[in-house]
């Protein structure tokens, strides 16, 4: 190595006309470290900039995409803030007003909720105000209709509740929107369309709708369209009934947009959206002797991209992945997902808390997520023996399982959802708490849906539960949790950081706070 400027680098010890100066080993090490410091600092700075720019070659960062990324814990990227709340403030909540399902459509512009009274309420996102570019469009009521009515099965002497169990949107093909809604027995396909014009000038009827005498018609008129106030109509296009002996727990639209599945406790049926009088039974776990029944189907879902693949979960905490190309009746699974149980931790409640209440594929189709009573697990479809991630939702309730069993809260069925980039997941808990887990940073946060924090753009403060010992100022004791306030149903906007949380009869909408 040479230097043109004189004594730099090693060349400083070989100046012309001078002998080599002998340097002690300790001083040589110090000089070598001093020379390397700028290079190491530059490397650290470059690697830090690459990580901040999302260029780190890790699996988690590679999964984070546009729309819905960031830190759900409200860290350096953004914070969650209050946006809206829908519903009455009454202390005495009617049973029919309790929200039973929440679902965004594929674009996120529509948000549908179903309640125990059989009603479906659809909210539409308003267009952003150009005069206020930083304001976000709010969701306002778009349409309300009665989807199901209470019925009575005279053959079995059973009442069929009108409660909406699930709502699933179909991809939009034209100006109208279509959705599937189901109660315990009947699935309905609804068309939601707009009408802002009406026809006038009929020949055979008057303007008030009464028929005219044909013999008094002396001239023919051509009907014309006149503008009218916008009216949103919801009409049932198909009714799929009489195919399930047990309560329907899940419906899932296939990626071919032509078929969907419906699952009850023991069977899964495949339907075509245009055919209502027959369906195909693709899974049947009913034993010949019902006394030998050991488990039931709890949830089912189609793969988001492969129309022949679906999964279903059981009350024992197992998940089956089936391929409809193998046989007409998928009684043999292609893959079987189960986490081995630790014998030392087995208890009376082990089978109850392993009950899978929800299963969801990631948007990419590479992973799936399951929710049991105490945790959320993320599975890689290529690894069956154990989940790749396990997130504890409310582990502090493990010591309270006996009291939760007595008040039946241990049988609550919590749902879970992904954000748009599959980098974060969300699920509910008690005391109107809901949990978020960032899969990239491994951070988690507990937030609360409460009217006390319902000021516009008010940031949500993380909540902490104290399990024992001295309680801090901002913590809440596990003994003070209200188990009547529970968040079972949540939904995440498919593109943006907007979430909908159902708390009893109220629907809370939160969004990320952008400065």
Confidence (pLDDT) at 204: 80
Structural contact between residues 282 and 329, judged by C-beta atoms closer than 8 angstroms: yes
Sign of the dihedral through C-alpha 48, 50, 52, 58:
negative
Task: Report the relative pairing of strands 506-513 and 119-125 from DSSP bridges.
Answer: unpaired
- Of 66-80, 222-236, 368-382, 429-443, the least confident: 66-80
Sign of the dihedral through C-alpha 5, 8, 11, 14:
positive
For the cut 90, the answer to whether the pLDDT of residue 203 exceeds it is no
Which residues, other chains included, contact 259 with Cβ-Cβ below 8 Å and sequence gap of 6+?
270, 271, 272, 273, 307
Confidence (pLDDT) at 132: 57
Confidence (pLDDT) at 346: 84
Confidence of residue 222 (pLDDT cuts 50, 70, 90): confident
Highest mean pLDDT among 12-16, 41-45, 225-229, 297-301: 297-301
Region of residue 70 (phi > 0: left; psi between -120 and 50: alpha; otherwise: beta): left
- Of 15-24, 99-108, 192-201, 433-442, the least confident: 15-24
Structural contact between residues 361 and 301, judged by C-beta atoms closer than 8 angstroms: yes
Say how many C-beta atoms besides its own lie within 10 A of residue 404's C-beta.
20
* Distance of alpha carbon 181 from the chain centroid: 17
DSSP helix/strand/coil, 268: strand
For the cut 70, the answer to whether the pLDDT of residue 131 exceeds it is no
Q: What is the mean pLDDT of residues 364-374?
A: 96
Confidence (pLDDT) at 337: 95
Rounded distance between C-alpha atoms, residue 443 and residue 428, angstroms: 17
> What letter does residue 457 receive in the DSSP assignment?
T
More confident residue, 166 or 198: 166
For the cut 70, the answer to whether the pLDDT of residue 109 exceeds it is yes
Chain segment 136-193, per-residue pLDDT in tens: 679 999 999 999 999 988 888 889 999 999 999 999 999 999 999 999 999 999 999 9
Element (H, E) at 46: helix 25-52
Q: Give backbone dihedrals phi and psi of 268, rounded to 5 degrees, phi first.
A: -125, 130
Retrieve residue 173's tokens.
């093909």
What rounded mean pLDDT belongs to the chain?
A: 84
Residue bearing tokens 């570019």: 133
More confident residue, 57 or 481: 481
Confidence of residue 17 (pLDDT cuts 50, 70, 90): very low
Confidence of residue 300 (pLDDT cuts 50, 70, 90): very high
* Distance of alpha carbon 159 from the chain centroid: 31
- CB half-sphere exposure, 276, CA atoms < 13 A: 10
- Of 211-220, 315-324, 373-382, 504-513, the least confident: 211-220
For the cut 90, the answer to whether the pLDDT of residue 311 exceeds it is yes
* Distance of alpha carbon 15 from the chain centroid: 71
Q: Which domains are delineated in the chain?
A: 80-512 (2.130.10.10)
Chain segment 38-95, per-residue pLDDT in tens: 443 444 444 444 434 434 333 333 333 333 333 444 434 568 999 999 988 877 889 9
């Amino acid at each position: 190595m040479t230097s043109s400027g004189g004594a730099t680098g090693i060349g400083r010890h070989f100046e012309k006309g001078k002998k080599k100066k002998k340097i002690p080993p300790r001083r040589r090490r110090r000089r070598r470290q001093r020379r390397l410091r700028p290079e190491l600092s530059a490397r650290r700075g470059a690697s830090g900039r690459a990580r901040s720019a999302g260029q780190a070659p890790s699996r988690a960062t590679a999964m984070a995409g546009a729309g819905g990324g960031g830190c759900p814990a409200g860290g350096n990227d953004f914070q969650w803030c209050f946006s809206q709340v829908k519903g009455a403030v009454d202390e005495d909540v009617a049973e029919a007003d309790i929200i039973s399902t929440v679902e965004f459509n594929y674009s996120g512009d529509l948000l549908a909720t179903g309640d125990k009274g059989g009603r479906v309420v659809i909210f539409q996102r308003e267009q952003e105000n150009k005069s206020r570019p930083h304001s976000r469009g709010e969701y306002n009521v778009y349409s309300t209709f009665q989807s199901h009515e209470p019925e009575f099965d005279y053959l079995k002497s059973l009442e069929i509740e009108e409660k909406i169990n699930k709502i699933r949107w179909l991809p939009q093909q034209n100006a109208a929107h279509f959705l599937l809604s189901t109660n315990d027995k009947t699935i309905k396909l609804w068309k939601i369309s707009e009408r802002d014009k009406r026809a006038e000038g009929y020949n055979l009827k008057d303007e008030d709708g009464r028929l005219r005498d044909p013999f008094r018609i002396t001239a023919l008129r051509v009907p014309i369209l006149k503008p009218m106030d916008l009216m949103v109509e919801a009409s049932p296009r198909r009714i799929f009934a009489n195919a399930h002996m047990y309560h329907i727990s899940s419906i899932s639209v296939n990626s071919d947009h032509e078929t969907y599945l419906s699952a009850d406790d023991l069977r899964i049926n495949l339907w075509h959206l245009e055919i209502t009088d027959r369906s195909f039974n693709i899974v049947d776990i009913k034993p010949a002797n019902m006394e030998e029944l050991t488990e039931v189907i709890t949830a089912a879902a189609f793969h988001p991209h492969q129309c022949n693949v679906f999964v279903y979960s059981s009350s024992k905490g197992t998940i089956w992945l089936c391929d409809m190309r193998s046989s007409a009746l998928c009684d043999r699974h292609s893959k079987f997902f189960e986490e081995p149980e630790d014998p030392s931790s087995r208890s009376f409640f082990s089978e109850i808390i392993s009950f899978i209440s929800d299963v969801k594929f990631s948007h990419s189709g590479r992973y799936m997520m399951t929710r049991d009573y105490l945790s959320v697990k993320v599975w890689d479809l290529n690894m069956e023996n154990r989940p790749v991630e396990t997130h504890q939702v409310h582990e502090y309730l493990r010591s309270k399982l006996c009291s939760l069993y007595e008040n039946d809260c241990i049988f609550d069925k919590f749902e879970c959802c992904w954000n748009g980039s599959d980098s974060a997941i969300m699920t509910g808990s008690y005391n109107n708490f809901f949990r978020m887990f960032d899969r990239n940073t491994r951070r988690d946060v507990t937030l609360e849906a409460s009217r006390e924090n319902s000021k516009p753009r008010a940031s949500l403060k993380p909540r902490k539960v104290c399990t024992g010992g001295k309680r801090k100022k901002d913590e809440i004791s596990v003994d003070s949790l209200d188990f009547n306030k529970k968040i079972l149903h949540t939904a995440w906007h498919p593109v943006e950081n907007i979430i909908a949380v159902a708390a009893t009869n109220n629907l809370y909408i939160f969004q990320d706070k952008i400065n």
